[in-house]
């Protein structure tokens, strides 16, 4: 998992072995030096890290009879160590195909689910802990309590805060940008909007220019609503470029997800260059900004041992080359989504969005909001309503109802992507498309993100 010699880890307060899609029996899977467990510091293994710790210390791992992906009920058997202050039964998030079959000497089982014995184990004397579930995600409601218990074992200072992040990042932005200005790609989603606000705090509104690209895959009039919302939030230095025809023409007939993502990422950069030329922006005076967050990099396979889940449009090769050349600034690239939301609230900006202000709407947008689902459901489904993309639809049934002029079911030839039991799956999603009599010109797609077997 790390190429750092164990001798260089001796001054660390604690070590976390993270999860991943690998099997401990795969000779190419990442591992650690057994000497790591002789450092005398607490160690927490999560998912694959839990299996790896048992494998190295003398336990055994096997393929699960039941592969788990999703929420599970954990029965807490011992409320010490990680489980101090945790409920007797608590919800956790599982995602695994292997599980621990036999414990290494000195370990005890402290939690299990109905399908996974040894879901949580500990060697309390040495402060070694392992959990098969993901305690770091929102779907494990008491996961932060468990992590807090581990940090107590590590005896670490709690000196990181979002306020300190703002102070440090403002200074870093000012140092990196110097006397230049930032040309920021923004979408109206939480990441780029919060990035917009942070850049303006560091540089002032006159030195940050936002570019919203209408790529033709948004909801009806969504680009106009995003522009209005951002303007009302005080982001008036904003330009909208309508590039729907360009994006749709380049994507026509392309079904493979990674190919589409590369096209989209390259087109964003192409449009940015085109708009900069139209606005007569001197490239020597500007640097590009992106609202990239840490999961974008991880999911794109951007670290040595990270599997590629999907290449985000801000991590295609062309953009990565610009990043390596120092031509891109990404102020929130080390944050996770929940931290980005905290940052947005701490910056204190307000916006009217669907009748609410930004701190409780745009900053806390969820998976049901089209802004967040844009790159997945909109790319796969709304394109089916456009002429270039209809060629990808397989034969379908159509019928009329009292409320719909046409109600059609169709399976798309294009593929969606999902991650189940830490494995990347591609599937052909179906679409149910209805045209309402009362608003005949406004198609209303309904999407079921499941594979048809």
CATH number of 6-154: 3.40.50.880
Q: Does the structure show a pLDDT above 50 at 443?
A: no
What's the confidence (pLDDT) of residue 374? 41
Q: Does the structure show a pLDDT above 50 at 11?
A: yes
Look at the block and give the residue holding tokens 């939480």: 190
What's the confidence (pLDDT) of residue 27? 86
Residue 56 in tokens: 């190295």
Catalytic residue numbers, as ranges? 47, 134, 136
> What residue spans define the domains of the chain?
6-154, 162-374, 393-447
CB contact at 8 A, 397 and 418: no
Confidence band for 398, pLDDT divided at 50, 70 and 90: very low
What's the confidence (pLDDT) of residue 325? 82
Is pTM beyond 0.85 here? no
Residue 220 in tokens: 């009806």
CB contact at 8 A, 202 and 182: no
DSSP codes joined into one string, 79-107: -SGGGTT--SEEEEEEEEEEEEEEPPTT-
CB contact at 8 A, 73 and 119: no
pLDDT, one tens digit per residue, over 324-371 is: 888 889 999 999 888 998 899 898 854 333 333 343 444 444 333 434
Coil, helix or strand at residue 357: coil
Does 6-154 match 162-374 in CATH topology?
Answer: yes
Cα 244 versus chain centre, distance: 25
- How far apart (Å, rounded) are the C-alpha atoms in residues 275 and 286? 13
CATH number of 162-374: 3.40.50.620
pLDDT, one tens digit per residue, over 258-289 is: 888 889 888 988 898 899 999 999 989 999 99
In percent, the amount of the chain with pLDDT more than 70 equals 72
Mean pLDDT check: name the lowest of 39-43, 152-156, 339-343: 339-343
Coil, helix or strand at residue 61: strand
Read off the pLDDT of each residue in 167-190 and give the average, rounded to a whole number: 93
User: Phi, psi (5° rounding) for residue 310?
Assistant: -160, 145
- How far apart (Å, rounded) are the C-alpha atoms in residues 136 and 115? 21
Q: Is 160 exposed, middle or buried (0-12, 13-18, 19+ CB in 10 A)?
A: exposed
pLDDT, one tens digit per residue, over 61-84 is: 988 777 778 899 999 999 999 999
DSSP codes joined into one string, 174-189: HHHHTT-EEEEEE-SS
- The mean predicted confidence, pLDDT, of the chain is 79
Confidence band for 102, pLDDT divided at 50, 70 and 90: very high
Listed ranges 36-45, 184-193, 313-322, 387-396; the one with the highest mean pLDDT: 36-45
């Amino acid at each position: 998992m790390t190429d750092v010699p164990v001798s260089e880890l001796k001054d660390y307060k604690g070590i976390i072995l993270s999860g991943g899609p690998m099997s401990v029996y795969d000779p190419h899977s990442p591992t650690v030096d057994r000497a790591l467990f002789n450092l005398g510091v607490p160690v927490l293994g999560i998912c694959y890290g839990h299996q790896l710790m048992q494998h190295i210390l003398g336990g055994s791992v096997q393929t699960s009879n039941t592969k788990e992906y999703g929420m599970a009920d954990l029965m807490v058997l011992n409320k010490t160590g990680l489980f101090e202050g945790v409920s007797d039964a608590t919800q956790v998030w599982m995602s695994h195909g292997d599980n621990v079959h036999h414990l290494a000497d000195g370990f005890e089982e402290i939690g299990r689910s109905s399908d996974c014995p040894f879901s949580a184990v500990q060697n309390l004397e040495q402060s070694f802990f392992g959990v098969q579930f993901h305690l770091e995600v929102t779907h494990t409601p008491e996961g932060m309590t468990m992590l807090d218990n581990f940090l107590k074992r590590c005896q670490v200072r709690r000196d990181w805060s979002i306020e300190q992040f703002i102070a440090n990042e403002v200074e870093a932005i000012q140092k990196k940008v110097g006397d230049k200005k930032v040309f920021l790609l923004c979408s109206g989603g939480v990441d780029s909007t919060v990035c917009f606000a942070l850049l303006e705090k560091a540089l002032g509104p006159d030195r940050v220019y936002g570019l919203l690209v209408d790529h033709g895959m948004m909801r009806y009039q969504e680009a106009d609503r995003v522009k209005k919302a951002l303007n009302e939030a005080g982001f008036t230095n904003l330009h909208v470029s309508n590039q729907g025809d360009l994006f749709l023409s380049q994507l026509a007939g392309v079904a493979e997800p990674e190919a589409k993502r590369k096209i989209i990422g390259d087109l964003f950069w192409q449009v940015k260059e085109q708009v900069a030329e139209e606005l007569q922006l001197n490239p020597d005076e500007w640097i590009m900004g992106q609202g990239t967050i840490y999961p974008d990099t991880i999911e794109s396979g951007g670290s040595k041992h990270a599997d590629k889940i999907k290449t985000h449009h801000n991590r295609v090769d062309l953009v990565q080359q610009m990043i390596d050349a120092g031509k891109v600034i990404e102020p929130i690239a080390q944050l996770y989504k929940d931290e980005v939301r905290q940052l947005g609230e701490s910056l204190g900006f307000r916006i009217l969005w669907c009748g609410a202000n930004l701190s409780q709407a745009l900053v806390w947008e969820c998976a049901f909001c089209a802004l967040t689902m844009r790159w997945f459901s909109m790319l796969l489904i709304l394109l089916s309503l456009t002429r270039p993309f209809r060629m990808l639809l397989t034969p379908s049934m159509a019928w009329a109802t009292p409320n719909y002029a046409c109600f059609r079911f169709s399976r798309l030839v294009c593929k969606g992507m999902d991650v189940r039991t830490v494995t990347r799956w591609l599937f052909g999603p179906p679409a149910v498309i209805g045209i309402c009599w009362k608003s005949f010109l406004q198609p209303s797609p309904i999407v079921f993100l499941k594979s048809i077997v």
